[in-house]
Amino acid sequence: MNEKEFLDELKEIDLLNQALKLQDWDIQTGMPEKANEDRSELNSYLYGLYFSKKIGPKIKEAIDYFPQHPEELSEVGQVVFEKVKENYELEHLVPEELMSALTAATSKAHGKWQEARASKQFSDFQSALTENIHITKQLIPYWRKEEKTDYDVLLNQYEPGMTVEILDQVFAQVKEGILSIRQTLKEKGKEPATDFLSRKMTKKQQKRFVVEVIKQLGYDFSRGRLDDTVHPFMIGISPNDARITTRWDEHDFKMAILGVIHEAGHGMYEQNIDLKYAHTPIYEGTSMGIHESQSLFNEIIVGSNRSFWKKQYPFFQECAEGTFDDVSFDDFYRSLKHTKSSLVRIEADSLTYPLHIIIRYEIEKMIFNEGLAVEKLPEVWNQKYEEYLGVRPENDLEGILQDVHWSGASFGYFPSYALGYMYAAQLYHAMGKDLAVDEILASDDYSSIREWMTEHIHQYGASRKPNQLIQDTTKEPLNPQYLIDYMEKIYFDVYGVEKTNSK
């Protein structure tokens, strides 16, 4: 074993993974419907080749060899080796029967979730969800390193270093902040008009606008592409190929335009990782939360910025070919930041969104750390929505059945969405010390923003943990106050609320 052999093996693993990712992209962007079964066979065959290499004899050999001969690894090799070892330990310790059981359970649960959505009855999903939770609980001991609680173990799968202790504190602060802003808006705010948001803008018009905008933001179409899909996503297929997708609604331009700007943020992350990490597990986002910080920076920080829209609105009007000529810039801008309680997370605005995540977090924590009975979930869910958002689902479809994640046993994933938002606000604050962000967004050249993000976040890929990136870049650990201050600034502005000294 030497470093070259080790890296060559990782490259083969990466190439198989690339093939799998291209297939996945294809499945989601227009594979013929009847090719589904053919494709499953192909996927499981290639996945078999991939996985058996990933935990195969060469990797095992490397894991035994290099700790005895650390001097044989270059700097990059050392970083890569640590990550490979971490992944290997997570994966090879788990008994194969348990992984097979999980695969079978989630596959079944996905079907049951869809049935339950059709009947709008949680009871149709209950036993499958119970089984997913049961198997996940059995997996936790194998995944555990030094985490204090069971749910900490799950959080760490998606956000290394994140704990219930931290989240309890930051989520309490965020929740209080949002509720306070909402209260102020209710008492003193002026609601923006939104009636023109549903005016027809064709897909072609929307696409012309948003493609130009994400190019300006730094998404590189020579190393990516934009396609239509049902559930939008970004996928990094190879180092020079980070593709994004969207869906379009001709009577809701916000959806695709902000959606594409969001996915472009993910894509820009993957397009700017240092190529020295190519073909290794370092060439990817370091966590779900940091990945989401990049997409939400684009979508919410840039996409809520008055200077940005002031600059873009004439071009937007031009693309819309007259449809918005009677709407003043101020009315247009304010309409984008209208806030209103909603039942469905993915339809939530940027003020209420974190409350959806906090509810999901509290419930997941109750399931794994406090033994909450599965049959009680809908009631707990509905009560929390009433309490935090003042709305109560009329059925389970618009309540606890709304998201796919639990059917895939992705417990611990949801907090990433809110973490990404908090990171984005904190990064924006740090960026503001180096750059005149508003001025840049009012100008013809946004490149310094993308470059700042590459310098501080993108380039490192998975070589640095989320908390290290945030600490190094912002000189402090995760601090939710930046998000609260940011939301207050945006919404008080849009709703015409004078900032008082009480804060």
Chain residues in the site for a copy of itself (CB under 8 A): 12, 15, 18-19, 22-23, 26, 30-35, 37-39, 41-42, 45-46, 49, 220-225, 237-241, 243
Q: Tokens 């071009």: give the residue.
A: 315
Nearer to a copy of itself among residue 24 and residue 403 (C-beta): 24
Please give the Cα distance from 141 to 129 (Å, whole number). Answer: 20
Say if residue 445 is exposed, middle or buried (CB neighbours under 10 Å; 0-12, 13-18, 19+).
exposed
Question: What's the closest the beta carbon of residue 77 comes to a copy of itself, in angstroms?
Answer: 20
Active site residue 250: no
**Whole-number Cα distances in Å, 394 to 120, 348, 352, 385, 400:** 10, 17, 19, 11, 11
Q: How far is the CB of 88 from a copy of itself (least distance, A)?
A: 22
**What's the full length of the chain, in residues?**
503
Q: Least distance (Å) from a copy of itself to the CB of residue 200?
A: 17
450 within 8 A of 427, measured Cβ to Cβ = no
With beta carbons less than 8 A apart as the criterion, state whether 412 and 136 touch: no
Q: For 362, how many CA atoms within 13 A lie in the half-sphere containing its CB? A: 19
Min CB(428)–a copy of itself separation in Å = 29
- Tell me whether residue 23 or residue 459 sits nearer to a copy of itself (CB atom): 23
Q: Quick check: 320 and 166 in contact, CB under 8 A?
A: no
Residue 396: enclosing H or E segment and its boundaries? none
Judge whether 364 and 411 are in contact, CB under 8 Å.
yes
Q: What is the dihedral of CA 91, 407, 24, 300, to 10 degrees?
A: -100
Nearer to a copy of itself, 246 or 382 (CB): 246
CB of 280 vs a copy of itself, minimal distance in Å: 14
Q: Compute the least distance from the CB of residue 114 to a copy of itself, in Å.
A: 20
Q: In angstroms, rounded to a whole number, what is the distance separating the alpha carbons of residues 344 and 341?
A: 9
Specify the residue, 39 or 137, whose C-beta has the smaller distance to a copy of itself.
39
**CB of 37: closest distance to a copy of itself in angstroms?**
7
Query: What 3 state SS string does 244-278 have?
Result: EEECCCCCCHHHHHHHHHHHHHHHHHHHCCCHHHC
Nearer to a copy of itself, 267 or 303 (CB): 267
Report the C-alpha dihedral over residues 23, 26, 32, 36, rounded to 10 degrees. 30
CB proximity list for 88: less than 8 A, separation 6 or greater: 54, 55, 59, 60, 63
Nearer to a copy of itself among residue 36 and residue 123 (C-beta): 36
Counting runs of H as helices and runs of E as strands, what totals does the chain give? 20, 3
* Cα 272 to Cα 2, 37, 204, 453, 457, distances in angstroms: 28, 36, 29, 9, 9
| Angle at alpha carbon of residue 101, lines to 462 and 39, rounded to 5° | 70
217 contacts 264 by C-beta, under 8 angstroms: yes
User: Does the annotation place 266 within a ligand binding site?
Assistant: yes
Query: Catalytic residue among 3, 263, 299, 362, which?
Result: 263
Tokens 């943990």 found at: 465
The residue (of 217 and 296) whose beta carbon lies closer to a copy of itself is 217
Minimum Å distance from CB 356 to a copy of itself?
34
Q: In angstroms, what CA-CA distances link 188 with 36, 184, 469, 494? A: 54, 6, 39, 12
Pair 306, 493: CB distance under 8 Å: yes
Active-site residues, by number, are: 263
Q: Annotated binding residues for Zn(2+), as ranges?
A: 262, 266, 292
Q: Annotated binding residues, as ranges?
A: 262, 266, 292
